[in-house]
Amino acid sequence: MAVDSKWLLEQFQEVFGSYLKDGLWISQAPGRVNLIGEHTDYSGGFVFPVAIGHNVAIVFKPRTDRVVRLYSCDYRQMSEFCLDEIHTSTDAPWSNFFRGVAWALGAYESPDRGSGESEDIDNTLSLGRNNRELRGLDAVISGDVPIGAGLSSSAAFEVASAFALLVAKGTDPIILNSFESECGLKVRREIAVACQKAENLFVGVSCGIMDQMTSCMGRAGHGIYLDCRSPRHEPVRLGLDDRDVTIVVYDTGIRRGLVSSEYNRRRQEVETGAKMIAGILGQSDIHSLRDVELATFEAVREMLPPEVARRCEHVVKENERVKNAVVALGRGDLLAFADLMRKSHESLRDLYEVSCPELDVAVKLACEIGGVLGARVTGAGFGGCTVNLVRNDALNDLILALPRSPLRPGALEPRAFAIDVVDGARIAEL
């Protein structure tokens, strides 16, 4: 699945007028599902996500001035701002992701935060050396990445927004669409960094770089082995078709807002743990849990507060699981990969405490089906989705076994769906 570009073009013409048929573009960026490596990205650790065939698409026409007019087909709302003065919107909070990307690409100082918080904006980005380079645009936006499900609808929106803004200011679309050239990869990496900064410093969610990098760097049929510190990445062939195995996502319909959830609290806990370990050992080169080996952690865990120790144990061991999972794929051992998925879920449930009863039940039901190789919670947790590796001959058994009625008051109707593993963001002229 993906947003129908023809339908979105019709929406553009309805909103902005049919006289604007010439000079139209469409930018599209996929969501992601993380196969293993959860809550490691903001500690500079390792993750292994895939880009999925659900995306956010933007049909737009560049303007000659600095005005940005956005229409969300999903929220049925217009939002307008000027690139000379970018503020967060309370009336159209969905637009803050686009606004934040424009702000980050232009290396603005956030008007809504203290001056110290925006000092780490990377002014070396070649994408927006001077904010006066950006130009306005008219755009309509729609997405079929489930919002709040842990499949990175926000990152998909951010990356699609960046592609639109860059083409509107004259960036060569051939470079933006390149996965092979060093220049193209460098630009995609810079886009991911700018989008992460937009979400961290403008929107106010302390996410890591995984979501944006996957939306930029995803490759069809491959997982992305990502070092979130560098951020270096390596496409790793999954080989699922060779083994008649499919990835199935189960959306529980339970939603949580990252800003108001305990997501930021978990990040603070692991950052505190890393600082405490560095202090205990007297090692100034420990900057995050990425720098802590398992044996080192085991030697100091009793000196940490119990809750902090549990959080740190998950991150340190999860990094090891990601590395072992990539090795398992290299030798074609999907059973070993799936066993690591199971251990990851247990750790997220018991140590990091970001699962919930409904997610645990979904994983348990999946693992009771013979053709399911592995299952785990994916995304930030507290609701959202599970990800499952299932043999094709057991696909219907899995879908029938998972609950199909709302799992708690206020929850959406749950659904299970197979996903395609696709390429990252792209842009085209209509």
Indicate the number of domains in the chain: 1
Q: Is the pLDDT of residue 407 over 60?
A: yes
- Name 166's Cβ contacts closer than 8 Å, sequence gap at least 6: 105, 127, 176, 191
**Residue 243 forms part of a structural domain:** no
Does residue 340 fall inside a structural domain?
no
Checking if the pLDDT of 416 tops 60, the result is yes
- Answer yes or no: is pLDDT of 402 > 50: yes
Q: For residue range 24-61, list pLDDT tens digits in order.
A: 999 999 999 999 999 999 899 999 999 999 999 999 99
- Residue 59 falls inside a structural domain: yes
Domain extent for 167? 5-238+422-429
Local confidence band at 148 (pLDDT 50, 70, 90 cut-offs): confident
Answer yes or no: is 255 within a domain. Answer: no
Q: Is residue 115 pLDDT above 50, yes or no? A: no
Q: Judging by beta carbons within 10 Å of its beta carbon (0-12, 13-18, 19+), is residue 397 exposed, middle or buried?
A: middle
Phi, psi of 327 (to 5 degrees): -60, -40
Residue with tokens 């947790």, as numbered in its chain? 381
Q: Which residue has the higher pLDDT, 120 or 378?
A: 378
Q: Is the pLDDT of residue 257 over 70?
A: no
Residue 36 neighbours by CB under 8 Å, 6+ apart: 47, 48, 318, 321, 322, 325, 337, 340, 341, 344, 376
Taking Cα atoms as reference points, which of 372, 29, 25, 38 lies closest to residue 172?
A: 25
Residue owning tokens 């339908």: 7
Average pLDDT of the chain is 91
Mean pLDDT computed over 199-213: 91
Q: What is the mean pLDDT of residues 342-351?
A: 98
- For residue 179, report the phi and psi dihedrals to the nearest 5 degrees: -105, -10
The residue type of 95 is: S
C-alpha span between 331 and 48 (Å, rounded): 16
- Mean pLDDT value across residues 344-373: 97
> Does 215 score more than 80 pLDDT?
yes
In a domain? residue 259: no
pTM of the model: 0.91
pLDDT tens digit sequence for 194-203: 999 999 999 9
Q: Report the 3 state secondary structure along the chain.
A: CCCCHHHHHHHHHHHHCHHHCCCCEEEEEEEEEEEECCCCHHHCCEEEEEEEEEEEEEEEEECCCCEEEEEECCCCEEEEEECCECCCCCCCHHHHHHHHHHHHHCCCCCCCCCHHHHCCCCCCCCCCCCHHHCCCEEEEEEECCCCCCCCCHHHHHHHHHHHHHHHHCCCCHHHHCCCCCHHHHHHHHHHHHHHHHHHHHHHCCCCCCHHHHHHHHCCCCEEEEEECCCCEEEEEECCCHHHCEEEEEEECCCCCCCCCCCHHHHHHHHHHHHHHHHHHHCCCCCCCHHHCCHHHHHHHHHHCCHHHHHHHHHHHHHHHHHHHHHHHHHCCCHHHHHHHHHHHHHHHHHCCCCCCHHHHHHHHHHHCCCCEEEEEEECCCCCCEEEEEEEHHHHHHHHHHCCCCCCCCCCCCCEEEECCECCCCEEEEC
**So what's the pLDDT on residue 262?**
77
CA–CA gap between residue 216 and residue 396 (Å, rounded) = 32
Q: What's the whole-number mean pLDDT along residues 52-73?
A: 97
**C-alpha to C-alpha distance for 221 and 167, rounded to whole angstroms:** 28
Distance CA 234, CA 222 (A): 9
> Using one digit for the tens of pLDDT, what is the confidence trace for 379-396?
888 899 999 999 999 999
CA angle 199, 203, 205 (to 5 degrees): 60
Distance from C-alpha of 144 to C-alpha of 419, rounded to nearest angstrom: 12
Residues involved in catalysis: 211
**pLDDT for the residue 109:** 41
Strands 67-72 and 137-143: parallel
Interior angle at CA 202, CA 199 and CA 207, nearest 5: 25
Any domain includes 354: no
pLDDT (tens digit per residue) in 326-337 = 999 999 999 999
Q: Is the peptide bond before 111 cis (omega within 30 degrees of 0)?
A: no
Structural domain contains residue 224: yes
CATH code, 120: 3.30.230.10
Q: Does some domain include residue 140?
A: yes
- State yes or no: pLDDT of 17 exceeds 90: no
pLDDT of residue 124: 40
426 pairs with which residues across the strands?
28
Q: Residue 123 pLDDT more than 50?
A: no
